[in-house]
Amino acid sequence: MYLQSNGCDILALPQSAASIELAGAPIRNAVILMGRNGLGDPVLEAMRQTIDRQSRHLERIVDDLLDVDRIARGRLKLESEPVDLARLVEGALEASRPLIERRQQQLQVSIPERAVPLDGDALRLTQVVVNLLNNAAKYTPVGGRIWVTLTSKAEATELRIRDSGIGIRPEMIGRIFDLFVQDEEAQRFSDRGLGVGLALVRRVVELHGGRVEAHSDGRDRGSEFVVLLPPASAAAAQSAAQAPQSARNTPAGVANTLTRRRIVIADDNVDAAVSLELLLRSFGQDTRIAYDGITAIDAVAQFRPQLVILDLGMPLLDGYEVARRLRALPNGAALTLIAVTGWGQSTDRQRALQAGFDHHLVKPVSEMVLRELLTATAAAAAAAG
């Protein structure tokens, strides 16, 4: 599929982009572990930071390519469920905080202490907030200011992200959310991307039944993005009211003490499997690796894990068949099965659930997402007795 921007052809290859994205997972895990353990040598640490920055940049470009394909084909879908938008904004703030701190910017946040219920796709809504926060940080000079305000009213939930940055030229306001549109003058303030982020923001917000607006008084006068989302359904409001307050009061990204459990990792990508094992061991988990489906079943029988993390595209037996066979074992119902794959459409998730998986994660899986999932599954296991 060819897409065109500013008179230039851009070749978007979703299959190739997905392959690159999968290859990035072990790189990200390796960078995390190197940073945690320390390299000692300042030169090596500088090189690690370079790898970290560039791999993140490559990851964003690949994600953008995949989202371009979904937008162009009308295949950008939502997994709607009751969510707490306040919690999601906190998580997005933690994800964007390294960029904001690196640019020495002042961040002022106003988020309700209570839950802000919403019907929506948690992953996509977080992506919206992260894109807007990163945009504000990138186009605000070092030492500038960013304001984040979340309010919930009867008629709508409103998120405002304002900055003291370079602003938006009047002629760009009407085009800023179009696919591949970029302000050429603004590019000197930031790494040049694909011009996809704001188009994705608009599409996701519209799929939620809302709208997004951009405001600016012009060059060097800052800018403000306003996301307006419809009020929550009665089910979402009830779910938020019943959620434990301790979960809302725990800042996203804060390290939790994880219950030590046995985990089998099955992935035919050796680098991905090994790097994930090292990351899980750094969380205090006991792990075993299998590089194909048949070996994975044997590892479960011998190691008797509580969790099994399965790649779906393995040789000999794919992850779906492995999940079905594990569920058929005498203790199979007690296993927590986690699918880790490069495919994240609603049909992929549904197929994984039908095969017996409890959770479906899309590669590359972030450290925060993995830690939160381990915490949640341990709590669920403890509650079940």
Lowest mean pLDDT among 44-58, 73-87, 107-121, 210-224: 44-58
pLDDT at 297: 94
Q: Could you tell me the pLDDT band of residue 122, with boundaries at 50, 70 and 90?
A: confident
CATH numeric code, 81-242: 3.30.565.10
pLDDT at 13 over 60: no
**More confidently predicted of 11 and 272:** 272
Q: Given this structure, which CATH class describes domain 262-384? A: alpha beta
Confidence band, pLDDT 50/70/90 cuts, at residue 181: low
Least confident segment among 218-227, 245-254, 327-336: 245-254
pLDDT in tens, 342-360: 766 667 788 889 999 999 8
Q: What percent of the chain has pLDDT over 90?
A: 29
pLDDT (0 to 100) of residue 249: 41
The lowest-confidence range among 122-136, 210-224, 341-355 is: 341-355
Residue 162 pLDDT: 96
Confidence class for position 2, pLDDT limits 50, 70, 90: very low
pLDDT at 253: 38
Q: State pLDDT tens for residues 60-110.
A: 666 666 766 776 677 677 778 888 999 889 888 887 887 888 888 999 999
Q: Which residue has the higher pLDDT, 289 or 13?
A: 289
Regarding predicted confidence, which is higher, 204 or 53?
204
Q: Does position 376 have pLDDT exceeding 50, yes or no?
A: yes
Q: 170 Cβ partners below 8 Å, 6+ apart?
A: 218
Q: What is the pTM of this model?
A: 0.57
In this prediction, residue 251 has a pLDDT band, given cuts at 50, 70 and 90, of very low
**How far is the C-alpha of 138 from the C-alpha of 186, rounded, in Å?**
10
Give the per-residue pLDDT at 4.
43
Q: Give ranges for CATH 3.40.50.2300 in the chain.
A: 262-384
Q: What percent of the chain has pLDDT over 70?
A: 73
pLDDT at residue 300, rounded to an integer:
95
Q: What is the mean pLDDT of residues 269-285?
A: 83
pLDDT, average across residues 143-172: 91
- Low-confidence winner among 50-64, 97-111, 284-298, 359-373 (lowest mean pLDDT): 50-64
- The yes-or-no verdict on residue 12 having pLDDT over 50 is no
Q: Answer yes or no: is pLDDT of 114 > 80.
A: yes
Mean of pLDDT over the chain: 79
Query: Is residue 5 very low, low, confident or very high in pLDDT (cuts 50, 70, 90)?
Result: very low
